[in-house]
Amino acid sequence: MSAEIADPVTGWGRTAPTAAARLVRPRSYEETVRAVRDCGTRGGIPRGLGRAYGDAAQNAGGSLIDMTALDRVVRVDAEAGTVACEAGISLQRLMEVLLPLGWFLPVTPGTRQITIGGAIGSDIHGGNHPASGSFSRHVLSLDLLTSDGDIRTVVPGTPLFNATAGGMGLTGVILAATFRLHRVETSLMSVDTERASDLDDLMARLTASECRHRHRYSVGWLDLLASGSSLGRAVLTRGEHAPLAALSARSPARRQPLAFRPGRLPGAPSYVPEGLLGRTTVGLLNELWYRRAPRRRTGELRPISAFFHPLDGVPHWNRLYGRGGFVRYQFVVGDGQEDVLIRIVRRIVRRGCPSLLALLKRFGVGDPGWLSFPMAGWTLSLDIPTGRTGLGPFLDELDEDVAAAGGRVCLAKDSRLRPELLAAMYPRLDEFRALRAELDPRGVFVSDLSRRLSI
């Protein structure tokens, strides 16, 4: 087991840096048990590939338990469509193993550079939430190392499972998991793309798509610098896994329909001038993106990597926001609260927040995780450079609107929510706190997020 002092440590948004954390990298279950026992007075928190945007996988002055060395595929049942694997394996590595066998992950977010432990700990969601729910819905069992050094097999329907799924690593270290997969015939997606003239148009199209069940995955990209009659204009992208029959006899992909070869572009430089993605630049890029999108195109074939994870092709793309980083702000409001969503979008547009990545999606029925983010309704996520004057108070006001509407912000993306709003957003917070106090009375598992929000 290796150990070193990591200084500083940040999330993917590069905000709220942590000082002097002790980074330990166990290579076995036994070493992980020892790492937990040796955490010290400042405790420890498991960490994967560092793609949580905020401070969920940081622990100032304490331990970070890097799980990426525990990355084995233990068993694939190609008949039943299940896989058992260690928690440190990345989604990309799983795709490399599973796609040639005709299986895909049941849920994937906008990056494949996260671990299975992180996928469960943050209960990730994707563009197929109305049909498939979040990741925990597909987990059959997991092995959890708790603060007393015991390794427990945890199954759905139990309080410990519901606390761990979406629990941000605060119930223990996930060591391994078994979960269901989704059958596919190719590593391509059949994609429909169309423009929406404004926010009302986009919401109507997303709702219609959900009702018709024609597309497993749907997401709308918004231009949050467009105003007036173009407020909320968008490009709507919907997709389904392409069947083998969709490939023509002459298609090169016909020879290897399940090949997975994600491309890569040059990485972002280590130094990027501050303000590169300011209002002028983002406005021009948004205009270009919207104008280049087809008014309507159906059945375009795209590789899985290009459809789900386009930014993974640009290593270190988070550097484009400069040294100050960016805030990934994501919230959800329930069905019937569309007026709140529209009001928030209007406020963001008036504020002139230069968000290059603003995505609107539908959520279906929420999953049982006590701190899981999704709930039935509408979720909007956007990236905002931290240098914007008055950004903190502005987002605080949006938080209050979201909480008053019975919505919530995503903890895996958060680095700045005020603790007094947390209980209103997550009504089962007291149950989570009570179970955590019983399970971990010495407070071994702790993070900057848990300290900031008094979880």
pLDDT value, residue 211: 58
- In DSSP notation, 162-225 reads HHHTTSTT-S-EEEEEEEE-EE-S-SEEEEEEEEESSHHHHHHHHHHHHHHT--SEEEEEE-TT
What values do phi and psi take at 182, rounded to 5? -115, 130
Query: What is the rounded distance in angstroms from the CA atom of residue 13 to the CA atom of residue 52?
Result: 8
139 — pLDDT class (breaks 50, 70, 90): very high
Output 193 or 211, whichever has higher pLDDT. Answer: 193
Q: What pLDDT was estimated at residue 215?
A: 84
pTM score: 0.96
pLDDT score at 208: 85
Question: What integer pLDDT is reported at residue 174 of this predicted model?
Answer: 98
Q: What percent of the chain has pLDDT over 90?
A: 85
Joined tokens for residue 436: 């955590």
Share of the chain above pLDDT 70, in %: 99
**Using an 8 Å Cβ cutoff, are 380 and 359 in contact?**
yes
Question: Average pLDDT of the chain?
Answer: 94
Task: Note the pLDDT tens digit of each residue in 6-25.
Answer: 778 999 999 988 888 899 99
Q: How many whole angstroms separate alpha carbon 277 and alpha carbon 285?
A: 10
Nearby residues of 401 by Cβ (< 8 Å), 6 or more positions away: 340, 343, 344
CA distances from 314 to 122, 248, 264 (A): 24, 30, 6
pLDDT at 162 over 70: yes
Two tokens, residue 217: 């995955």
Instruction: Indicate whether 452 pLDDT > 70.
Output: yes
pLDDT in tens, 206-259: 998 665 567 899 999 999 999 999 999 999 999 999 999 998 878 888 889 999
The more confidently predicted of residues 353 and 153 is: 153
At 251 the pLDDT is 83
Element (H, E) at 96: helix 91-98
- With b for 16 or more beta-carbon neighbours within 10 A and e for fewer, the 147-176 pattern comes to beeeebebebeebbbbbbbbbbbbbbbbbb
Least confident of 71-80, 143-152, 186-195, 283-292: 283-292
Give the pLDDT confidence of 340-350 residue by residue, as tens digits.
Answer: 999 999 999 99
Over residues 44-60, the pLDDT tens digits come to 999 999 999 999 999 99
Q: How confident is the model at residue 392 (pLDDT cuts 50, 70, 90)?
A: very high
Distance CA 135, CA 62 (A): 29
The reported pLDDT for the residue numbered 266 is 77
According to DSSP, the β-strands at 103-104 and 82-86 are unpaired
The tokens describing 446, both together, are: 């702790």
Parallel/antiparallel/unpaired status of strands 139-145 and 173-180: antiparallel
Neighbours of 93 (CB within 10 A): 17
pLDDT digits (tens, 9 = 90+) for 81-131: 999 999 999 999 999 999 999 999 999 999 999 999 999 999 999 999 999
CA dist 15 to 148, 194, 326, 386, 391, Å? 33, 35, 7, 8, 13
Which residues does residue 358 pair with via DSSP β-bridges, in sequence order?
Answer: 382
Of 93, 91, 75, which is closest to residue 83 (Cα–Cα)? Answer: 75
What is the pLDDT at residue 259?
Answer: 92
Separation of alpha carbons 219 and 362, rounded Å: 8
More confident: 266 or 306: 306
Cis (ω within 30 of 0) for the bond into 8?
yes
Around 162, how many Cα atoms within 13 Å sit in the side-chain half-sphere? 14
Q: Which pLDDT value is given to residue 212?
A: 58
Q: Which pLDDT score, from 0 to 100, does residue 278 have?
A: 85
Task: Supply the angle between the helices 338-351 and 199-212 in degrees, to the nearest 10.
Answer: 140
Q: Say which DSSP state 270 is in.
A: S
User: In the predicted model, what is the mean pLDDT of residues 354-378?
Assistant: 96
Q: How far apart are CA 95 and CA 245, in angstroms?
A: 22
| Residue 210 confidence (pLDDT) | 63
